[in-house]
Chain A
Amino acid sequence: MEIPVGLGPENGAHAPDTGQLSRDGRWDTGRLYLAIAKGAFRRYSTYRAATVAGTVTNTVFGFILAYTFLALWQARPGLGGYDTAQAVTYIWISQSLLVTVAVWGGGFQDEVQDRFRTGDIAIDLYRPVDFQGWWLATDLGRAAFHLVARGLLPTLVGALAFHLRLPTDPLVWAVFLLTVLIAVVASFGLRFLVSLTGFWLHDSEGIRAVMLVVAMFFSGMLLPIGLFPGRLGELAHVLPWAALIQIPTDILLERRTGGAVLTGIAFQLVWALVLLAAGRAAQLLATRKVVVQGG
């Protein structure tokens, strides 16, 4: 029998135990958050087998869904304004982004849930490092790792097996990466709110499950929002989940160019900020609640 060594994360890496760092005056806030993000990146990079398994899964789904889109666009060429190559590219890019943007939920949410279970969460609110900032930094570190580890391979395999429409202009790629970054922040804002419900509900599992359904559908992960009929489509276009997959993908497919790129980014930014502010407010309420209950 083989015993894999060092599978789990070091326990310390989970806990926001930065009291020492911040007491040390030389650490300024920016460097602190960078260190937190780097730590998260490194931690996720240790789950090798899980990363490989996950990437394979994204690739398998990429294949299956790409064929279904090929069939649909064969029946209806140019559907929703996507040509066939764009439609297939849409599938592969959305599969590549799925875990990075955490449409499914997860990432820091599992860790927060653990801390609710152990009761450490009440202490976390009083740490010298800001609660929301801490988890945002870890989530950005995680997303950076997932973008590289779980994004590149499906995209490459997709490009080898199918005819994809990827941009040649490096500027488009740069703007795409920027929108992915904002998408991660917006997704974080949503997940943070869900996790904080744990302060009021016995467990937030149920809410998480409902959010998964809503997010998978309204992000355009299953079908481009442009293919939704009538009112449903109009609604989907203004909900925050559109910021997660639909907008970054449309920018990469160069369906949004010029001014539409800017309005797309503005849409994402507004939602990201609104969600972060809502999370901040919920955090204040949670802190007050913990004070009242004495921890």
Chain B
Amino acid sequence: MAELLVPEPQVRGPEPQLLAPETRMARVRWALRSWRLVAAMWTRATMAYRASFYLMFAASIAATSLDFVVLLLMFQHTDSLGGWSLPELGFLYGTSGLCLGLANLLVGSADALGDRIRTGTLDTMLIRPAPALAQLCAERFSLRRLGRPLQAASVLAWSLTELHVRWTADRVLLVPVLLVCGTVIFGAVYIGGATLQFWWGEVRELQNSLTYGGATLIHYPPTIFAKELVAGVVFGIPLAFVNWLPSLRILGKPDPLGLPTAFQYASPIAAALCVLAAALAWRAGLRAYRGTGN
């Protein structure tokens, strides 16, 4: 992330014809580069109001910490919630918050798609020679969104020191896999949810129930929720793969649904499916917006 802070080095651009992004790999690289260019512009723009930036950054850390303060207050009155200890909840909280926070940092801006359509900003993106989705995700990018992942990362670090886990190879490996896949799943939820706004411009808040609501859900252990709800986030919107299922393995907890152990390792598959679904939804939405194929 530090890279975003420094001004982009003066890259000498080759002739445009030679660089026409033709292959899939080149297209992805071009999308990432577009994202970085636009995000860097927004970073500089928000830094024009430095005082406001720092205040917002502090407020964002405080706001995201509130949920954890509530957890701490709850544990003033009890030693375990649904059979899980505070460090174990801290692990859930840290992983969920970190994944949501990173996804929000990278693609969270997509959730304002309805506004972008209303104000014509999306049209401006469509007349630039860069992928509209990359531009949309970078629109209004602000480093103050680092607040959530930083706060969650510190809770996660704390929980890792407090947990009594026998760190086998698969458990150690599952943690980074969990973080990457969780971020991807939340990112896909952001984009997939935003796509709805191609058809219903005002439903931005619905997104909150999937992202912030979803993250709140998986702060807590699956054992306290109704089985239907847990099944919903395994087989429906697969938020259970962000941290619940891998955590069962990492922390050695029983699965309330009694699913096969394979599920606990299946986050990469779930993440891939989410990306596919979000990509299809985005393409369908953009086609509907531009009016392709009717």
Which A residues are closer than 8 A to B by beta carbons? 1-2, 4, 7-8, 47-50, 52-54, 56-57, 60-61, 63-65, 67-68, 70-72, 75-76, 79, 202-203, 205-207, 209-210, 212-213, 216-217, 222-223, 227-229
Contact = CB atoms under 8 A, between A and B. Distances in A.
Contacts of B67: 222
B213 interface: yes
B204 interface: yes
Contacts of B55: 206-207, 209-210
Nearest to A61: B213
Nearest to A48: B202
Given A71-B81, A209-B59, A216 B66 contact: yes
B62 A222 contact: no
B266 interface: no
Interface residues of B, number: 48
7 contacts: A49-B201, A49-B203, A50-B202, A53-B206, A63-B229, A205-B52, A223-B74
B59 A223 contact: no
B205 interface: yes
Contacts of A63: 229
A75 B76 CA distance: 12
A223 B69 CA distance: 10
Interface in B197-230: 199-206, 208-209, 213, 216-217, 220, 223-226, 229
Contact of A67 (B203, B206, B226): B226
Given A2-B199, A217-B69, A212 B59 contact: yes
Nearest to A72: B74
State the main secondary structure of chain A at its contact with B: helix
A100 B217 CA distance: 24
B51 interface: yes
A47 B203 CA distance: 10
B43 interface: no
B78 A72 contact: yes
Closest 7 A-B residue pairs measured CB to CB? A206-B55, A209-B59, A71-B224, A53-B206, A60-B209, A50-B202, A75-B78
Interface of B: 49, 51-52, 55-56, 58-60, 62-63, 66-67, 69-70, 73-74, 76-82, 118, 199-206, 208-209, 213, 216-217, 220, 223-226, 229, 288-291, 294
Contact of A57 (B79, B213, B220, B291): B213
B224 A206 contact: no
Given A206-B55, A213-B66, A71 B82 contact: yes
Contacts of A61: 209, 213, 216
Contacts of A228: 73
B77 A227 contact: yes
B206 to A, nearest CB: 4
Contacts of B56: 205-206, 209
B82 A213 contact: no
